[in-house]
Amino acid sequence: MSVYMVTWNLNKELGNYDQARRAFIAHLNRYTNVSDPGLESVRWILSSATADQISEDLRLKLDANDRLFVTKLNSGQHQGWLNADVGDWITANV
């Protein structure tokens, strides 16, 4: 299993933004994940899939104007200022 950081931006101009956001997060929550309350559109997920497979899966809930970035974290190759429980979860799983 690997830890991936997933970040996204949904097009807020659409009238169904709240519904689209809820649907996307529900889809993302199928993965074991953690979030930091200070980073609204970022999750760290645990998966045995590749970044390409995760991106392809999550894009099922996005429109053409939305944006998504998925990257794999490597041990000793990440740093950040997060809530301690989030950092601990990432460190324990990388």
Please report, for the chain, the start and end positions of each structural domain, with discontinuous segments joined by +: 2-75
pLDDT digits (tens, 9 = 90+) for 29-69: 999 999 999 999 999 999 999 999 999 999 999 988 899 99
pLDDT of res. 11: 78
Residue 53 in contact with residue 62, Cβ under 8 Å? no
What's the pTM? Answer: 0.89
The pLDDT tens digits for 10-37 are: 877 667 788 888 899 999 999 999 999 9
Enter the tokens of residue 42. 């970022």
pLDDT for res 68: 96
pLDDT for 14: 63
Q: What percent of the chain has pLDDT over 70?
A: 97
Question: Average pLDDT, whole number, for the chain?
Answer: 91
- Give 57's DSSP letter: H
Across the strands, what pairs with 9? 67
- Specify the CATH architecture of the domain 2-75: 2-Layer Sandwich (3.30)
